[in-house]
Structure 1
Amino acid sequence: METATPALRRVGRPRADALRNRERIIAAAREMFVEFGAQVPFDEIARRAGVGNATLYRNFPDRDALAREVVCSVMDRTSEWVEEAITEGGDAFEALSGFVHFAADERIGALCPMLSESFDKHHPDLVAANERITGLIEQLMARAREAGQLRPDVEFGDLMIAVSQLTRPLPGTACQGNDRFVHRHLQLFLDGMRAPARTGELPGVAATVEDLRRA
């Protein structure tokens, strides 16, 4: 038993290092996709992550694989936040508002356009992550609607389109420079979603999950 422990540590250490490297690559890619777009050079991502190009390609053989992992990781973290908010209960509209501000911090507005890029939007990992977060957000909205706190004419698509547009970086500017405006504008939007509504029926039609999928 005494000789097995060091051996186990030697075997386990590369796996732990590999996992850390993978996480550093994903974090660096997320930052650089937000700052420069999805076409940022791989060697720049590797440099920011502090790994070699070979390590990056060993984890992600092509741009599609890396972009998909970045998008899935953001959706997974957001799903975990929403699950915790639902479990805790409390004020339904405050939970919905918390999700919107959390999504802004996760740079969803900058990353959402990547869903329309060339990589496979039907990949099982992406589909599973998307279905999970969609279902959880709909639960948040249903709770707020049932509590009489959310306008009844607001649908999932309305919320996500607004979040995406309000948190998307302006052309030619750094995303971080807009942070002082993003949360302010999101709160104005959230106040407009509260029930009872201060205006009559909204113009046009509500955007549903199906509308977003078709788009």
Structure 2
Amino acid sequence: MKTATRTSTETEARRVTRPRADALRNRERIVSAAREMFVEYGPEAPLDEIARRASIGNATLYRHFPDRSALLVEVVRSVLSRAADAAERVDAEEPDAFVALCRFVHEAADERIGALCPLLSGAFDAHRADLDAERTRLVGTIEEMMARARQAGRLRPDVGHGDLMMALSQLSRPLPGTGCTDIDRYTHRHLQLFLDGLEAPARSALPGRSATLEDLRRATP
């Protein structure tokens, strides 16, 4: 009798946990598809197309994310977190800070850091505690790498983290209006050209001053 009761309980537990696992996988598929779409089309990417790419129905998408803002927040949080993890890892692994910085730039492109465009677009309120924490972690690690690279004489002194993040976002997204979604063919090639330009000694003086993320946000209508 006890065995039958235990079997019944285990069966019921599986029934409860299976939908939760399925729901988690669906949520991950939605965020992954949205990340790609936001890189290609920006924060106004069609939600129907995101659902199609995630291989789920529209109702499932809206069950997880009731509106566009909720999805934008989750994608931005995910990308910030993954990029910050990558930055911390390469900074710990690479004794040469400039090499670490280069590794981070290439890995951040693979993490689709261009999907952070909603942070600058005003598409939602970006001043949330969870987003601020991940953004602070990411920027702090980048600034540490850049400071160490400058001290070692490897990084030109007139660039800041905003310059790096702006170029990284621009070079890892398709050209506007081209419909060119095969950007991966060129991203790492062009990023390496950019990184070569960061290395000291500099061959020219840069006009203006280094950008910050706050500068970019204020410049966005």
**Are residues 127 and 47 of structure 1, via their aligned partners in 2, closer, same or farther at CA, if it must alter by over 3 Å?**
same
Residue of structure 1 equivalent to 2:162: 157
Taking the TM superposition and a 5 Å limit, the aligned residue runs for 1:1-215 are: 2-3=6-7, 4-109=9-114, 111-115=115-119, 116-199=121-204, 201-215=205-219
* Residue 47 (structure 1) shift: 2.2
The answer to whether the 8 A contact 1:34-1:175 is kept is no
Q: Distance in 2 between matches of 1:193 and 1:210?
A: 22
Q: Distance in 1 between matches of 2:50 and 2:185?
A: 26
Consecutive unaligned residues of structure 1, counting only runs of 5 or more, are: none
The answer to whether the 8 A contact 2:34-2:75 is kept is yes
What percent identity do the matched residue pairs reach?
A: 64
* Residue 97 (structure 1) shift: 0.5
Deviations 1:135-154 (CA, angstroms, capped at 9, x unpaired): 12112212212222111222
The answer to whether the 8 A contact 2:86-2:108 is kept is no
Q: Distance in 2 between matches of 1:208 and 1:118?
A: 19
TM-score, scaled to structure 1: 0.87
Q: Distance in 1 between matches of 2:154 and 2:212?
A: 19
Consecutive unaligned residues of structure 2, counting only runs of 5 or more, are: none
TM-score, scaled to structure 2: 0.85
**Are residues 28 and 164 of structure 1, via their aligned partners in 2, closer, same or farther at CA, if it must alter by over 3 Å?**
closer
> How large is the RMSD of aligned CA atoms in angstroms?
2.2
> Which letter maps to 1:77?
R
The answer to whether the 8 A contact 1:29-1:70 is kept is yes
Q: Distance in 1 between matches of 2:111 and 2:181?
A: 12
- Alignment size in residue pairs: 213
**Are residues 75 and 174 of structure 1, via their aligned partners in 2, closer, same or farther at CA, if it must alter by over 3 Å?**
farther
